[in-house]
Amino acid sequence: MKKTKLIDIAKIHGVSTSTVSKAINGHSDVSAATRTAILETSKKLHYVANIHAKGLRTQKSSTIGVIIPNILLSFNATILKGILDSAKEFGYRVLLSESEHYFENEKETLQKMIDSNVDGLLISINKESKNIDHIIKASEHLPVVLFDKISEKVPLTNIIVDDQQGAFNAVEHLILQGRKEIVCICGAKNSYSSEHRLNGYLEALEKYKIPINSELILESEQVTISQGELAIQRLLYKATKFDAVFGITDNVAIGAIKALQKNKISIPEKVSVIGFSDSDKATIIVPNLTSVAQPGASMGRLAVRYLIDEINNPINVRTPKTIELKTVLKIRESSFSSI
Amino acid sequence: MKKTKLIDIAKIHGVSTSTVSKAINGHSDVSAATRTAILETSKKLHYVANIHAKGLRTQKSSTIGVIIPNILLSFNATILKGILDSAKEFGYRVLLSESEHYFENEKETLQKMIDSNVDGLLISINKESKNIDHIIKASEHLPVVLFDKISEKVPLTNIIVDDQQGAFNAVEHLILQGRKEIVCICGAKNSYSSEHRLNGYLEALEKYKIPINSELILESEQVTISQGELAIQRLLYKATKFDAVFGITDNVAIGAIKALQKNKISIPEKVSVIGFSDSDKATIIVPNLTSVAQPGASMGRLAVRYLIDEINNPINVRTPKTIELKTVLKIRESSFSSI
DNA sequence: TTGTATGCGTTATCAA
DNA sequence: TTGATAACGCATACAA
């Protein structure tokens, strides 16, 4: 059964393809009678416009491109779910590609997306991407919205989590539990979210007049379980005193828990631990990990909404805004001593 | 800077667009001189054929559609990674959509993919999909390869994990550790993998002459942590004796661990536990969970390869084959007592 | 209200 | 070896 096209419907009703096209696209200059007749057979024959013909003609593809660093990062997957949901709702297809954390890959992938005639682009940029010229340039060709991993001051719409507030809440919670020597396991220096989470940490210390101890601020290039474990191991080896750990990701926090447990340091009695992102693992590990929950699916949905806005209001004065989504602190055993 | 098109290059060299097209597409009937000249400026001006024009003309889109039940299932994400990798390698775009575990959704999504003019379709079917007529029908229009969640005897290429062998290995391992009363927490009856994993369980019992005890074969519609926990709780309540648990997924196995721990039953001393899929959680939970590792990325890559094969050898006598990938048992603390 | 004609950018056929 | 031309299916400006 071949696909129905305009000409098939036109022949049936003895009209021209342009009339059929107009009827289907809801133009006003078609009589009610022919319109309903056409729409009826169009439905009956499951007519769907050929996307290539339509795309060629209209320069639109009803497709958005999504570039994420790594689908295996569960937060990436959660955002993607929101994107898929919302895109489907708005009638957009989703073309997906990974940048795999390599700058060159991101650049190439970006170009391929543009070559694919997508109507707009959703990008979570690479931590390597200090240079974002390629993104700026892309945004001159088509609407681009950044999410999750964004860049400093790029003139684009950004959807992110309020990292600083999330970190502040977490650290404040630790302080209110009586903790004063709080370790912060940070990530790479040039990462937007790492930087802002560190700021939240510092803000909380400041608010409660707790002196900053640089020995407690650890930097870990890779924010993995093993790196988190290593970071705390080192601290223990140096016999640095601390009574809490704020991990910039759940993984480093879990690594911290492992290190503490290996050294028989009880959690949360001796040391409280908090992570960031509230992944599945948070409720698997014992003790369950207190963590800052990020609204990933909402982020994805919002990103699509803003992108489609830009697609529909084209050359329009782009008013790049940065949307910050609020986080929620999920308090669990790793930070809550009922003492 | 507008996109370069054939006519631009043609004008530069004072030739026709058809010559340029031929040169770029490597046809033989172009003189070496003009060819190299054309290719050079084509490269310089970053010429890329407009996909809509090309698609309209050739009826090909260099795009494959991927339908998965749920991107949040980490195994789905792992397979997807393999698909993305491989597709990129072969120069294919990936259009992604979720079926979200609803039959109607799958049908609709499938139709949308076909309407999107993808060259082929990769589908992990829905557990609800007892009725697969829509998939059969789709496969008459375009190449379709099924992966992970497949259907009984559908005349299509299927890429799956050797569930039976994986389960057999797991249960054999338990038996070799001296376990004789092995619980099996199964999934829905109509699920292909659930059924085959149960077969592997039965096969192992049979091989080692262990009588089948139907009280130990539990069915859980949802293979979640809480359902796994509930299943074991019930068993304990009934005071049924058992010394091992084979969970059909990591989640039910983790649920089992939770139930056992709440009842102060030591793992693996009193009861050994094994899961299936070797998710991240397996090494987070304490004791670390022994689990059957499935080669997800390989599955994705293979699926792409077979699909592209079918795309390239069209109406060709389709020789549907079922590829079974071997699993690897990752032995960890939850099943290994050094006694 | 309807139809005709044209072009979107590419490729393939056929003639030069 | 090259080019003119038609066609892929659709949407639109304009004519009827």
Residue whose pair of structure tokens reads 């899929």 in the numeric block = B277
Confidence of residue B339 (pLDDT cuts 50, 70, 90): very low
Interface test with A, best of B1, B4, B52 (most A CBs within 10 A): B52
pLDDT, tens digit (0-9, with 9 covering 90-100), for A165-214: 999 999 999 999 999 999 999 988 777 889 999 999 999 999 999 999 99
Q: What residues have CB less than 8 Å from B192, skipping those under 6 apart?
A: B149, B150, B151, B152, B160, B163
* B19 class by beta-carbon count within 10 Å (0-12 exposed, 13-18 middle, 19+ buried): buried
Distance CA A240, CA B264 (A): 36
Cα-based distances in Å from B89 to B60, B126, B314, B330: 18, 28, 21, 30
Distance CA A127, CA A247 (A): 18
pLDDT, tens digit (0-9, with 9 covering 90-100), for A64-74: 999 999 999 99
Which nucleotide in the DNA or RNA is closest to residue B56, CA to C1'?
D8
Q: Which DSSP letter does residue B112 get?
A: H
Q: Residue B269's pLDDT is what? A: 94
Q: Mean pLDDT, to the nearest integer, of B286-313?
A: 95
**How far does Cα A26 stand from its chain's mean position?**
36
Q: Residue A339's pLDDT is what? A: 41
Q: Which of A4-13, B95-104, B221-230, B260-269 has the lowest mean pLDDT?
A: B95-104
Nearest to B170 by CA among B56, B85, B272, B89: B272
B311, pLDDT greater than 70 = yes
A81, pLDDT greater than 70 = yes
B121 strand-pairing partners? B65, B144
Domain ranges of chain B: 6-49, 59-160+296-325, 163-294+329-335
C1’ D16 / CA B19, Å: 40
Q: What is the CATH number of domain A6-49?
A: 1.10.260
- In this complex, the answer to whether residue A34 has its CB under 7 A from any atom of chain C, a nucleic strand, is yes
Contact (CB, 8 A) for A221 and A188 = yes
Contact (CB, 8 A) for A228 and A252 = yes
C1’ D5 / CA B240, Å: 82
State whether residue B151 is helix, strand or coil.
Answer: coil
Distance CA B232, CA B253 (A): 10
CB contact under 8 A, A284 and B254: yes
Q: Is B16 left (phi over 0), alpha (psi -120 to 50) or beta?
A: beta
Contact list, A56 vs chain B (CB under 8 Å)? 50, 52-53, 56
- Type of residue at A134: H
A336, pLDDT greater than 70 = yes
Q: What residues have CB less than 8 Å from A270, skipping those under 6 apart?
A: A243, A260
Distance CA A42, CA A28 (A): 18
Could you report how far apart the first and last alpha carbons of chain A are, in Å? 72
Distance CA A38, CA B177 (A): 71
Find the closest chain A residue to B118 by CA distance: A51
**Sequence-ordered strand ranges (E) for B55-173:** 63-68, 93-98, 120-123, 144-147, 157-161
Interface of B with A in 235-294 (CB under 8 A): 254, 280-281, 284-286
* B209 class by beta-carbon count within 10 Å (0-12 exposed, 13-18 middle, 19+ buried): exposed
Residues B63, B68, B70: CA angle, nearest 5 degrees: 135
Distance CA A65, CA A313 (A): 18
Nearest to B15 by CA among B27, B28, B1, B33: B33
A122 touches chain B (CB under 8 A): no
Contact (CB, 8 A) for A252 and A224 = yes
Question: Which bases of chain C are contacted by protein, using any atom under 7 A from a CB?
Answer: 1-5, 7-13
Find the closest chain B residue to A70 by CA distance: B81
CATH class, B59-160+296-325 region: alpha beta
User: Six-digit token pair at B284?
Assistant: 């987070």
Q: Residue B19's pLDDT is what? A: 94
**Which candidate from B51, B78, B95 shows the least CB-CB separation from A72?**
B78
CB contact under 8 A, B281 and A286: no
CB contact under 8 A, B94 and A96: yes
Distance CA B316, CA B198 (A): 36
Q: Residue B2's pLDDT is what? A: 79
Distance CA B269, CA B335 (A): 9
Average pLDDT of chain A to the nearest whole number? 92
10 Å Cβ neighbour count for A27? 12
B55, pLDDT greater than 50 = yes
B51 touches chain A (CB under 8 A): yes
B210, pLDDT greater than 80 = yes
Omega before B295 cis (within 30°)?
A: no
Phi, psi angle pair for A170, to nearest 5°? -65, -50
CB contact under 8 A, A56 and B78: no
Average pLDDT of chain B to the nearest whole number? 92
Q: What residues have CB less than 8 Å from B98, skipping those under 6 apart?
A: A81, A84, B67, B68, B69, B70, B71, B105, B109
Between helices A250-262 and A225-237, what is the axis angle to 10°?
Answer: 40
B149, pLDDT greater than 90 = no
Contact list, A82 vs chain B (CB under 8 Å)? none
Distance CA B177, CA B165 (A): 18
User: Six-digit token pair at B202?
Assistant: 């039965």
Distance CA A174, CA A178 (A): 7
Q: Mean pLDDT, to the nearest integer, of B36-60?
A: 94
Q: What 3 state SS string does chain A have?
A: CCCCCHHHHHHHHCCCHHHHHHHHCCCCCCCHHHHHHHHHHHHHCCCCCCHHHHHHHHCCCCEEEEEECCCCCHHHHHHHHHHHHHHHHCCCEEEEEECCCCHHHHHHHHHHHHHCCCCEEEECCCCCCCCCHHHHHHHHHCCEEEECCCCCCCCCEEEEECHHHHHHHHHHHHHHCCCCCEEEEECCCCCHHHHHHHHHHHHHHHHCCCCCCHHHEEECCCCCHHHHHHHHHHHHHCCCCCCEEEECCHHHHHHHHHHHHHCCCCCCCCCEEEEEECCHHHHCCCCCCEEEECCHHHHHHHHHHHHHHHHHCCCCCCCCCEEEECCEEECCCCCCCCC
Q: Residue B314's pLDDT is what? A: 61
A338, pLDDT greater than 70 = no
pTM comes to 0.94
Nearest to A211 by CA among A190, A180, A252: A180
Question: Which bases of chain D are contacted by protein, using any atom under 7 A from a CB?
Answer: 1-5, 7-13
10 Å Cβ neighbour count for B162? 18
A56 touches chain B (CB under 8 A): yes
Distance CA A65, CA A93 (A): 8
Q: Residue B133's pLDDT is what? A: 86
Confidence of residue B316 (pLDDT cuts 50, 70, 90): low
**Which candidate from A48, A63, A115 shows the least CB-CB separation from B48?**
A115
C1’ D2 / CA B21, Å: 12
Closest approach of A44 to chain B, Cα-based (Å): 15
Closest approach of A295 to chain B, Cα-based (Å): 14
Residue whose pair of structure tokens reads 């096969």 in the numeric block = B203
C1’ C4 / CA A26, Å: 20
Q: Which residues of the protein have their beta carbon within 7 Å of strand D?
A: A 5-7, 17-18, 21-22, 24-25, 27, 47, 49-50, 53-54, 56-58; B 14-19, 22, 28-35, 53, 56-57
B226 touches chain A (CB under 8 A): no
> A163-294+329-335, what's its fold?
Rossmann fold (3.40.50)
Contact list, B63 vs chain A (CB under 8 Å)? 95
Interface of B with A in 88-107 (CB under 8 A): 88, 93-98
Closest approach of A68 to chain B, Cα-based (Å): 11
Contact (CB, 8 A) for B181 and B242 = yes
Q: What residues have CB less than 8 Å from B185, skipping those under 6 apart?
A: B218, B220, B223, B228, B231, B232, B245, B246, B247, B248, B252, B253, B256
Distance CA A128, CA A225 (A): 20
Contact (CB, 8 A) for A19 and A42 = no
Contact (CB, 8 A) for A202 and A212 = yes
pLDDT, tens digit (0-9, with 9 covering 90-100), for A303-312: 999 999 999 8
Q: Residue A37's pLDDT is what? A: 92
CB contact under 8 A, A72 and B81: yes
CB < 7 A to strand C: residues 2-21, chain B: 5-7, 17-18, 21
- Fold equal for A6-49 and A163-294+329-335: no
Q: Residue B35's pLDDT is what? A: 92
C1’ D4 / CA A52, Å: 25
